[in-house]
């Protein structure tokens, strides 16, 4: 990594990339280049745009004969000084809204943490450019953080007030001005149980904005997004990735002007935002990150995955294999007792599961979601031997033990609320809104932070607990204090509590959850190595959500569970195998009632767990490629590769009577080497064949009759056998034909029996080198 300064030009080189800035003749910081890493031989001045005369109707300073700010690729922009794009900063001092920062000095140093906010881990370098507004007596520091082993650039702003009272009304972390192409936006939108659906928007003249304003990074719009240049594909062409290390309200804006230039802004939301800085106070924005790849969206995903794994995730967990978890939520909800949990634990152990996580309902009077939240004492009626008893029981079986908490919230019907009604977020003119019968604790208050720390600390010490699922089940509302920095301060409070808890319990694996994926963001992932992706475990929607998130987040952050065949969320019936083929791409777990499994299903799950354990490092830490998606190609195909092995999924959406003759393709193989490939053996329910079961049965069977039901509890059909050896060249180009699919005929062991919403996994291994 290298940061240089020469002749008013800053050049930052990191990974395979370079980013160049210049100081204009009137002291503005101007973006010049973001692309492949420059060499020492590059004549860097050739990259600097010349402004020989003002363009069009631009406004200039009297003494300046160059271009006006309207046409410059500025790294920050303020209103009312000739730049008529959306500003990235809005400030006010003593009734003046005119600010004009000019270059003052720079510093190159080792990277330092951002006060109060999540920061990238690892040893990197930081460029700090100081700009001053002498008239307003305040300064703007532009921070740039880079690492040698990463193509991701981090940017944030520090605003410092020297005198009087400065109001910050808007403070984007980054502004980036691209030009010279047509651009498309790829962004992730959704709602509870249907997060991270990919939306592709061609950017035309005007402003497209993304935001969340519910007090979380939100399921509605994830802070991760991509930009593709014209002609970009999955694996080729220029694409850019962006994200923010923050978990609260955020906003991104993409503005294309008449010159076709694109201004991208990322940062905290400016809705009702207002921060006052007194004399000698500073404000720090969260870190915005960005990267650029010539290898299309898969190239961007891989750069982002590497950054998240190496700079965001706690290094204690970034390289270790995550356990296969059983979580009792969908099986029992609130209705369980010690015996029930013991029996689930025994079954979990027999199936090969490694950690048992006890979800909601173990504390206070929490027998449904109306009561008890905040009262973090075990319910002795349900668990007479407490968490200690349960964790000991798990230990004896050879299982690790984990626990669920929702520390930021409180039910009105709880001892906590009765003792501290003033701890909830609300203002005094209206009754605070409720969500799931609960209220949000005001994490800005030191006493609330202490209470949360003590509750979690005590719970983690109450038994041998190695896993904590931290939930958060409602949006924020009724924020106090009018226009303020409430949301920012809430998260500074939360990050401080999380730092204390992580310091006291460094070995505990934390799982992030906000009604599923309501806060799947880099702020939370700085503390939680993995995140419960969605409350939706239906394999079709889940695949869409997981593939959406995987564009920007590594698979090791995606916690996925196989749940009961009929989806709680969609009432769609799919097989356990279809659920596994989806859930395996990430950190696998199970969540269905294990005591309800038939012998056939137990066999199925045992085989899944064995397969996953054999290939866990591929699924959790392999290099990831999206090869096809339901939305684009009508089927989904994902690939993970590591060393000599790859796994490729092929998941069908709807069965057709004339199915497409798909071929198995894979990326990143060496064309000259030979590779063996083999389909993972799946167990198909006898009931899948319907009354056609009579094609292979010696006696007549009724489709839903007693005998079929009885038989299908114990036996199933095996999926087709398919294996072979071909060169990497074949996988990389035309592909390998997949077994013929069922098309109304052919119930035999060479035919692929899929039906709607199911698929296969193929294991590809190096067989011999050239």
- Residues forming the active site: 471, 535
Answer for the pair 132, 104: CB distance below 8 angstroms, yes or no.
yes
Closer by beta carbon to ligand DGJ, 182 or else 340: 340
d(CA 141, CA 131): 6
> Segment near ligand DGJ (CB under 6 A), from 262-270, 457-465, 508-516, 708-716?
508-516
Among 86, 133, 255, 359, binds ligand DGJ (CB under 6 A): 359
Contact call for residues 383 and 339 (beta carbons, < 8 A): no
The answer to the question of residue 408 lying near ligand DGJ (CB under 6 A) is: no
- Cβ pair 68, 82 in contact under 8 A: yes
Distance CA 563, CA 596 (A): 12
Please report how close the Cβ of residue 212 comes to ligand DGJ at its closest, in angstroms: 18
Q: Quick check: 471 binds ligand DGJ (CB under 6 A)?
A: yes
Nearer to ligand DGJ, 360 or 538 (CB): 360
Q: How many CB atoms lie within 10 A of CB 255?
A: 19
Q: Does 404 bind ligand DGJ (CB under 6 A)?
A: yes
641 in helix, strand or coil?
A: strand
Shortest distance, position 522 Cβ to ligand DGJ, whole Å: 20
Residue 560 CB, nearest approach to ligand DGJ (Å): 12
Q: Is 511 in the site for ligand DGJ (CB under 6 A)?
A: no
- The three-class DSSP label of residue 29 is strand
Span of 31-39, 304-312, 380-388, 512-520 interacting with ligand DGJ by CB under 6 A: 512-520
Work out whether 473 is an interface residue with ligand DGJ (CB under 6 A).
yes
Cβ distance 263 to 86 under 8 Å?
A: yes
**Which is nearer to ligand DGJ, 100 or 359 (by Cβ)?**
359
Write down the least CB distance from residue 474 to ligand DGJ, Å. 10
Beta strands in 115-205 (DSSP E): 125-133, 138-146, 153-161, 166-178, 183-191, 194-202
Cα angle 302, 306, 311; round to 5: 150
Using the rule CB under 6 A, which residue among 11, 175, 515, 556 binds ligand DGJ?
515
Which residue, chain included where needed, has tokens 């790294």?
75
Choose one: 136-144, 389-397, 493-501, 513-521; the region binding ligand DGJ (CB under 6 A).
513-521
* Site stretch for ligand DGJ (CB under 6 A), options 94-102, 105-113, 345-353, 510-518: 510-518
Minimum CB distance to ligand DGJ smaller for 309 or for 438: 438
CB of 215 to ligand DGJ, least distance (A): 16
Q: Which is nearer to ligand DGJ, 74 or 196 (CB)?
A: 196
> What is the token pair recorded at 238?
């220029």
> Could you say whether residue 513 binds ligand DGJ (CB under 6 A)?
yes
Nearer to ligand DGJ, 372 or 516 (CB): 516
In whole angstroms, the minimum distance from the beta carbon of 513 to ligand DGJ comes to 5
Note whether 360 binds ligand DGJ by CB under 6 A.
Answer: yes
Query: For tokens 């101007």, what's the residue?
Result: 30
Tell me: does residue 516 bind ligand DGJ (CB under 6 A): yes
Measured from the CB atom, the residue of 76 and 192 that comes closer to ligand DGJ is 192
Whether residue 332 contacts residue 593, with contact meaning beta carbons closer than 8 Å, is answered with yes
362 binds ligand DGJ (CB under 6 A): no
CB of 193 to ligand DGJ, least distance (A): 9
The binding track of 571-600 with respect to ligand DGJ, each residue x by CB under 6 A or -, is: ------------------------------
Per CB under 6 A, 439 contacts ligand DGJ: no
Judged by beta carbon, residue 296 or residue 374, the one nearer ligand DGJ is 374
Q: Kindly state the smallest distance separating residue 512's Cβ from ligand DGJ, in Å.
A: 10
The CA-based diameter of the chain, rounded to the nearest angstrom, is 97
- Tell me the two tokens of residue 613: 């354990």
Of 463 and 517, nearer to ligand DGJ (C-beta) is 517
* Of 86 and 535, CB closest to ligand DGJ: 535
CA angle 446, 447, 453 (to 5 degrees): 90
Instruction: Give me the residue whose beta carbon is nearest to ligand DGJ.
Output: 360
* 175 is a contact residue toward ligand DGJ (CB under 6 A): no
Nearer to ligand DGJ, 460 or 638 (CB): 460
Closest CA to 648 of 623, 683, 674, 684: 623
Beta carbon of residue 434, minimum distance to ligand DGJ (angstroms, whole number)? 15
- Give the contact letters, 303-342, x = binds to ligand DGJ (CB under 6 A), - = no: --------------------------x-------------
- Please report, for residues 134, 407, 485, the alpha-carbon distance to residue 455 in angstroms, rounded to integers and kept in the order given: 49, 8, 27
Shortest Å, Cβ 436 to ligand DGJ: 8
Which residue, 460, 419, 468, 469, is CA-closest to 441? 419
Question: Which contiguous run of DSSP H or E holds residue 729?
Answer: helix 728-732
Cα dihedral value 671, 672, 676, 680, nearest 10 = -10
Binding flag, residue 195, ligand DGJ (CB under 6 A): no
Report in angstroms how near the CB of residue 257 gets to ligand DGJ at its nearest.
42
Q: For ligand DGJ, which is the closer residue by CB, 93 or 519? A: 519
Per the DSSP assignment, residues forming a β-bridge with 327 are 357
Cα distance between residue 471 and residue 559, in whole Å: 14
Q: Does 212 bind ligand DGJ (CB under 6 A)?
A: no
| Cα-based distances in Å from 507 to 73, 528, 681 | 46, 12, 36
CB of 218 to ligand DGJ, least distance (A): 14
Among the candidate windows 250-258, 440-448, 511-519, 742-750, which touches ligand DGJ by CB under 6 A?
511-519
DSSP one-letter string for 281-341: -EEEPPPEEEEEESBHHHHHHHHHHHHIIIIIS-HHHHSSPPPPEEE-HHHHTT---HHHH
Segments in 352-385 forming alpha helices (H):
none
Binding ligand DGJ (rule: CB under 6 A), the pick from 535, 601, 682, 741 is 535
What is the spatial distance between Cα 169 and Cα 156, in angstroms, rounded to a whole number?
Answer: 16
Does the CA dihedral 74-78-80-84 come out positive or negative?
A: positive
* Binding-residue total with ligand DGJ (CB under 6 A): 11
DSSP conformation class of 192: T
Site for ligand DGJ in 367-386 (CB under 6 A): none
- Alpha-carbon distance of 433 to 478, in angstroms, equals 7
For ligand DGJ, which residue of 532, 553, 612, 619 counts as binding (CB under 6 A)? 532
Question: Is 327 within 8 Å of 340 (Cβ atoms)?
Answer: no
- Helix, strand and coil percent figures for the chain, each rounded to 5: 25, 35, 45
Among candidate residues 101, 37, 30, the one with its CA nearest the CA of residue 67: 30
Site of interaction with ligand DGJ (CB under 6 A)? 329, 359-360, 404, 471, 473, 513, 515-516, 532, 535
């Amino acid at each position: 990594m290298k940061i240089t300064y020469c002749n008013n030009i800053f050049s930052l080189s990191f990974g395979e990339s370079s980013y160049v800035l210049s100081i204009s003749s009137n002291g503005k910081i101007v973006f010049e280049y973001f692309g492949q890493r420059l060499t020492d031989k590059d004549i860097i001045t050739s990259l600097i745009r010349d402004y020989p005369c003002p363009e069009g109707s631009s406004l200039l300073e009297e003494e300046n004969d160059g271009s006006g700010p309207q046409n410059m690729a500025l790294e920050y922009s303020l209103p009312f000084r000739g730049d008529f794009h959306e500003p990235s900063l809005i400030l006010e001092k003593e009734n003046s809204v005119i600010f004009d920062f000019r270059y003052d000095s720079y510093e190159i140093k080792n990277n330092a943490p951002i006060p109060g906010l999540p920061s990238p881990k690892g040893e990197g370098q930081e460029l700090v450019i100081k700009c001053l507004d002498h008239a307003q007596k305040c300064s703007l520091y532009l921070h740039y953080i880079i690492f040698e082993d990463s193509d991701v650039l981090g940017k944030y702003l520090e605003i410092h007030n020297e005198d009087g009272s400065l109001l910050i009304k808007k403070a984007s972390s980054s502004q980036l001005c691209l030009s010279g192409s047509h651009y498309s936006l790829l962004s992730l939108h959704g709602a509870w149980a249907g997060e991270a659906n990919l939306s592709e928007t061609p950017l035309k003249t005007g402003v497209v904005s993304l935001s969340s304003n519910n007090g979380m990074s939100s399921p509605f719009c994830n802070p991760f997004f991509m930009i593709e240049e014209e002609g970009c594909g999955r694996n080729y062409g220029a694409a850019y990735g962006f994200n923010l290390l923050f978990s609260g309200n955020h906003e991104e804006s993409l503005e294309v002007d008449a010159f076709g230039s694109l201004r991208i802004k990322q940062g905290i939301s400016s809705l009702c935002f207002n921060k006052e800085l007194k004399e000698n106070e500073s404000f720090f924005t969260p870190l915005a990150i960005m990267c650029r790849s010539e290898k299309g969206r898969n190239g961007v995903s891989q750069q982002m995955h590497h950054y998240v794994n190496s700079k965001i995730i706690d290094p204690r967990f970034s390289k270790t294999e995550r356990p296969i978890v059983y979580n009792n939520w969908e099986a029992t909800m609130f209705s369980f007792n010690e015996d029930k949990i013991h029996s689930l634990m025994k079954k979990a152990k027999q199936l090969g599961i490694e950690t048992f996580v006890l979800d909601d309902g173990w504390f206070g009077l929490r027998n449904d979601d109306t009561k008890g939240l905040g009262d973090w004492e075990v319910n002795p009626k349900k668990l007479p031997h407490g968490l200690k008893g349960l964790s000991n029981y798990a230990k004896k079986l050879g299982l690790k033990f984990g626990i669920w908490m929702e520390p930021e919230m409180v039910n009105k019907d709880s001892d906590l609320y009765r003792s501290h009604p003033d701890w909830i977020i609300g203002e005094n003119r209206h009754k605070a809104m409720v969500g799931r019968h609960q209220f949000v604790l005001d994490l800005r208050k030191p006493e609330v932070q202490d209470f949360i720390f003590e509750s979690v600390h005590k719970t983690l010490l109450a038994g041998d607990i190695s896993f904590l699922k931290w939930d958060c089940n409602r949006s924020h509302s009724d924020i106090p204090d009018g226009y303020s920095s409430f949301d920012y301060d809430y998260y500074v409070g939360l990050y401080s509590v999380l730092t204390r808890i992580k310091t006291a319990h460094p070995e505990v694996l934390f799982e992030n959850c906000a009604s599923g994926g309501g806060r799947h963001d880099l702020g939370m992932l700085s503390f939680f190595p993995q995140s419960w992706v969605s409350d939706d475990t239906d394999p079709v929607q889940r695949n869409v959500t997981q593939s959406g998130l995987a564009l920007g987040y590594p698979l090791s952050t995606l916690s996925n569970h196989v749940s009961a065949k009929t989806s709680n969320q969609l009432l769609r019936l799919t097989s356990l195998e279809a659920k596994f083929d989806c859930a395996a791409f990430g950190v696998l777990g199970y969540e269905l009632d294990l005591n309800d499994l038939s012998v056939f299903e137990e066999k199925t799950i045992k085989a899944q767990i064995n397969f996953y354990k054999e290939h866990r490092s591929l699924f959790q830490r392999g290099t990831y490629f999206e090869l096809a998606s339901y939305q684009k190609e009508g089927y989904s195909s994902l690939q993970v590769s590591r060393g000599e092995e790859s796994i490729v999924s092929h998941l069908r959406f709807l069965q057709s009577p004339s199915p497409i003759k798909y071929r198995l393709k894979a990326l990143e193989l060496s064309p000259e080497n030979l590779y063996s490939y083999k389909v993972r053996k799946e167990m198909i329910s006898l009931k899948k064949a319907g009354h056609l079961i009579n094609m292979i049965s010696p006696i007549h069977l009724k489709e839903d009759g007693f005998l079929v039901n009885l038989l299908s509890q114990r036996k199933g059909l095996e999926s087709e056998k398919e294996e072979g050896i071909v060169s990497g060249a074949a996988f990389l180009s035309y592909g390998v034909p997949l077994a013929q699919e069922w098309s109304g005929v052919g119930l035999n062991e060479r035919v692929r029996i899929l039906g709607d919403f199911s698929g296969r996994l193929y294991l590809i291994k190096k067989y011999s080198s050239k």
